[in-house]
Amino acid sequence: MAHDFRRPDHMSPQVTASQWRAAMRLFPYVWQYKGRLFAAMGLLILAKLANVSVPLALKEIVDSLQHPSTALLLPLAFILLYGALRFSNTAFTELRDALFARVLQRAMRGVIYDVFRHLHAQSLRFHLERRTGGLAVDIERGARSIRFLINFSLFNIAPTLLEILLVAGVLFVKYDPWFGSITLMTLVVYIFFTVLVTNWRLRFRRAMNQTDADANAHAVDSLLNYETVKYFNNEQFEAERLNRDLKRAENAAVQSEISLAWLNVGQAAIIACGVTAMMGLAAQGVAEQRMTIGDLVLVNAYLIQLFIPLNFLGTVYREIRNALTDMEKLFGLLQSPPEIRDGPNAKPLVVTRGEVRFERVSFAYDARRPILHEIDFSIPSGRKVAVVGASGAGKSTLSRLLFRFYDVTAGRILIDNQDIRQVTQASLRAAIGMVPQDTVLFNDTLYYNIAYGRPDAGREEVIEAARAAHLDRFIAHLPDGYDTLVGERGLKLSGGEKQRVAIARALLKNPPILVFDEATSSLDSATEKAIQAELARISENRTTLVIAHRLSTVVDADEILVLDGGRIVERGRHDQLLELNGRYAEMWRLQQRAEREAASPGPTKVRNA
C-alpha cells in the first residue's frame, strides 16, 4: 500500500497533534546548541528593551524643546541617547542573527540528513510506490518550513509579543489605564480573528500544495521518460496533461489568494480601530492638558512600533500554519518504518566459503499473486549456478531476495549457514556484487560511476576495473576521457556501454558472491564474447548466480535451473538438459534457430532477363 502523508481536505483545519509533534521534533536539533541559543535570546531581549526605550527618549526630546529656557545640553543628551538606542536595537538584532545562523543551518542539515538516510533505509517497495517528483517537493518544502519555523517563532512571534507586553506595561504605568487596555484588547481581537480566518483558509493552501506537488511529479516523471515520450510522439499529450495539472494548481492558488485578501482587510480594520481609539484618547489628554505633546508623540511612536509588527505577525502566523503542514509531511517520512529492518541481535555476515542456499523459498509481492513456490537449490562455494526461463518466471526476484530488498514469504536464504534475515543488511550487501539488467547511472562522470563500486579505491584500481570491463578503448576516444558526464540516468551512453560500467563497478567492488542479471543482454556478439570470457575469469573461485535469457551465455554453468511459473521445472548441466529434451531443450532450439535466421542473408531477388 502506498504511503500518503497528505492530510485529507475534509479533516479539521486546527493544528493537529501530529503537527505539534512534528514541531517538537525540531527541539533536539536546536537544543544541542543551547549555549548559542541562550546567548541569542539574551541579545533579543536587549534589542527589544532598546526598541521600547526609543519612544521614551523621543518624548523627552519633544518636551524639552517646548521650553526655550531649558539648557541646550538636556535635549542634546536625549538626542544622543535616542541615537544610541536606535543603534543598539539594530546592533543587538544583527549580532543575534549572526550568532544563531550556525544553529539554524546545523538544525536544517541534521533533519535533512536524517530524512535522507531514512529514505535510503526504506524498502524497494516504498520507492516503487511513490512518485520521485512528489517526494522531492515534500522534502524541499519541509526544509524551507524548518528554516521559517525556527527563525520566525523564536525571532518574530516571541519578540513581538514581548514588545507588546512591555509597551502595554509602560502605558498602564505612565498613563490612563485605557491606553494599555485598548492595546491588549486590540491584540486579543486581532489574534482571535487571525487564527479563526487562517484556519478556515488553510484548506485552500492544502489544496494548492497538493495540486502543485501533482504537477511537479508529472513533470519530473515525463522528463525522466524523455525517450519514451519521443518514441510515441506524445509531446503534446504530455504538455496537455501538465497543463491540466497546472490549471488545477492555478484555481487552488487563486482561491488561496482571495481568502488571503479577506484576511488582510479584516486585520487592517482591527488595527485601524485600535489606532483611532488610542489617538483619540491621546488627543483628548493633550487638549485637557493632562498630557504633553511629547506624550502624544510617544503614544504615536508606540502605535507605529506595535501595529506594523502586529500586522506582520498575522502573516507569520499564516506561514507558520503552512510550515507546520509542510513539516508534518517531512517528518511523516521519518515516521514510516522501513519494511526491511535489521533484527535486534543482527550480527555482521561472516563469509568463509561463500556458499548460498535457498531453502523452500516462497515469495509474493502481493499475497493475491504468488511469484515463487518452494524454490530449493544451493550454489556451492566457487561454483556458478544459472537461472533461465521465460519473462515473468521470477528469475530477477531471486536476486532481489538475495540482496534482501524483500523478505521471503516462506523458507529461508542462507549464506555459509547464516540466515540473511539474522545478519546486518550492510554486511550482506557488502558481500555481494551485482550487474543488473537495467543499469541506471548517476548524472556524473564516468570515473565517478565506476568508482561507485568502491568509493575509497585508488585511481589505478578504477582504471584497471574499466580495462577489465573493456571500457578503456571506448573511454580513450572520448574528448574528456574519464571526466565525461554520462547524463541523467546515463542517457548519453548506449545500453552496452552502461552495462560495461556496471561490470566495472562489480569488478572494483571485488565481492565473494556475484550476481549477473542479464549482464550482457545489451552487448553486441563480439563484445559479449570478450566480456563473457572476462566474467568467467572473475567468477573463478567466487560463488556466482547468473540470471540469463540467452542460453548461450550459461552453457558453462555448473548447474542450470529452469524456472517456469515460479517453480523449478528442470535442473542440471547444459548437456544433461538437452538430453532431457524438455523445456530447456525447446528454448535452446528456438534461440539457435533465431540466431541462425538473424545471421543468414535475406532472400535474393532474381532479375528478369
Question: How many helices (DSSP H) and strands (DSSP E) are in the chain?
Answer: 20, 10
Pair 131, 246 in one domain: yes
Pair 417, 447 in one domain: no
pLDDT number for residue 553: 82
We report the CATH number of the domain holding residue 259 as 1.20.1560.10
Contact 343, 197 (CB under 8 A): no
> Would 341 be classed as within a structural domain?
no
pLDDT number for residue 67: 65
> Would 388 be classed as within a structural domain?
yes
Of 502, 525, 544, the residue at which a domain comes to its end is: 502
User: What's the CA gap between 357 and 48, in Å, rounded?
Assistant: 71
pLDDT number for residue 422: 92
Pair 373, 311 in one domain: no
Nearest in space to 170 (alpha carbons), one of 158, 162, 47, 286 = 162
Pair 476, 421 in one domain: no
The beta strands (E) that lie in 134-257 are given as none
> Would 11 be classed as within a structural domain?
no
Pair 410, 384 in one domain: yes
Low-confidence ranges of the chain (pLDDT < 70): 1-23, 66-75, 121, 123-135, 310-315, 318, 489, 519-528, 530-531, 534, 598-609
Pair 325, 373 in one domain: no
User: What's the CA gap between 365 and 375, in Å, rounded?
Assistant: 16
Q: Where in the sequence is the domain holding 585, given as residue range(s)?
A: 356-431+511-599
User: What's the CA gap between 31 and 324, in Å, rounded?
Assistant: 19
Domain count, the chain: 3
Contact 347, 419 (CB under 8 A): no
> Would 69 be classed as within a structural domain?
yes
> Would 436 be classed as within a structural domain?
no
Nearest in space to 305 (alpha carbons), one of 159, 124, 484, 509 = 159
> Would 4 be classed as within a structural domain?
no
Kindly state the helix (H) or strand (E) to which residue 358 belongs, with its residue range. strand 356-363
Find where cell 484588547 sits: 185
The percent of the chain in helix, strand and coil, each rounded to the nearest 5, is 65, 10, 25
We report the CATH number of the domain holding residue 577 as 3.40.50.300
Pair 425, 450 in one domain: no
Over residues 492-524, the pLDDT tens digits come to 888 778 888 888 888 888 899 999 887 666 566
Neighbouring residues of 92: CB distance < 8 A, sequence distance ≥ 6: 43, 44, 46, 47, 50
Rounded to two decimals, the pTM is 0.62
Pair 497, 544 in one domain: no
pLDDT number for residue 152: 73
User: What's the CA gap between 178 and 221, in Å, rounded?
Assistant: 62
Contact 167, 183 (CB under 8 A): yes
Pair 383, 462 in one domain: no
Pair 144, 190 in one domain: yes
Pair 363, 416 in one domain: yes
> Would 218 be classed as within a structural domain?
yes
> Would 606 be classed as within a structural domain?
no
Pair 171, 279 in one domain: yes
pLDDT number for residue 521: 62
